Amino acid sequence: IKEVKKDVDDILTIEKQVFEKIDIDEKGNIEVKLKTVTEKLTELEATRQEESEFEEERKSELLKEIQLLRILAGLGLTIGEFVHEIGHYEPAFKYDAELLTNLVKDKKGKEAGERLQNNLNAFTVYTSFFKDAISENVNRELQPIELREPVAKFLEIITPDMERNNFELEDPNYIGYNLLTCPMHFSEWASILFNFYSNSKKAIKRTSNRGKIHIEAGKIKDKVYLEFSDNGVGIPQDKEEEIFEAFYTTSSPTGSSANEIEELTGTGLGLKIVKDIVEGYGGEVLVTTPKKGYSTTIRIELPKTDILDYE
């Protein structure tokens, strides 16, 4: 662009030298044309500068996103090792908790022992869920997922947590049979549903409502869908697309005492990861009209696998 502007300036200089030999009308036309070219080049240079600044900003965001995804990947490996190792101790934990409960005679001791056993059972369910997800990832073969399966496993996991938070969990609603997604990893649904649940918990805690969550799955034409609803603070209409962008978060800034886990859970990557998973399979994730009695409903649509093709 700078070279072209220099050439135009050279032309202007030459034209000034020959203007005396050209009639006034022709001279005016040349001046107007050259002025227009100069203005267009100036606009082009300004646009190029804006695009360059935008590209630098976007590059910086992508590098930050990649860095955090690497941290999350490393954390996933650590969790995998932890889940594997803790499995060796779970039987002993259960046996000792049961033995102590039976040995204690007073009422409070019995109650404490029973709570301990219940908590250990919930812990075992958590670890077995992640153990299954990790082992399924070892097999990289994709396969259609019947939506009832990941939803059932997810609800089994979060039920103890919902009870502790006094949340109400309605029975899931399934519209139709054979709700088979396109071939994908089963563990990806763990990531999707836990991200939805994590955001719902935060939204509910910002209200005085008793928490309520509902899941619906069904199929329409060549797609299957899943809708996740909660009665939290809701999502402003002007933020319905922005929430799926990297680093968008409504969480309060973490303080200097926050650990790495707290910082990672508030980065705003959760829904971006969900979006990347869904769009990677040619699907779509969006905020849709809330179900009756709820303030937010997020909908996922994915290509459907026909049962005849699957069999």
* Of the candidates 282, 248, 142, 161, the residue with the CA atom closest to the CA atom of residue 211: 161
User: Is the pLDDT confidence value at 262 over 50?
Assistant: no
**pLDDT at site 91:** 83
DSSP 208: S
CA 3 to chain centre: 46
165: phi then psi, degrees, rounded to nearest 5: -90, 0
Give strand pairing partners of 223.
220, 303
Distance CA 246, CA 243 (A): 8
* Of the candidates 269, 267, 302, 301, the residue with the CA atom closest to the CA atom of residue 287: 301
Find all residues with CB under 8 Å of 201, minimum gap 6, and list them.
165, 211
CATH of region 143-311: 3.30.565.10
Lowest mean pLDDT among 14-18, 48-52, 78-82: 14-18
66: phi then psi, degrees, rounded to nearest 5: -60, -40
pLDDT tens-digit series, residues 129-187: 667 666 666 566 789 999 999 999 899 888 888 888 899 988 999 999 899 999 998 88
- DSSP labels for 143-160? B--BTHHHHHHHHHHHHH
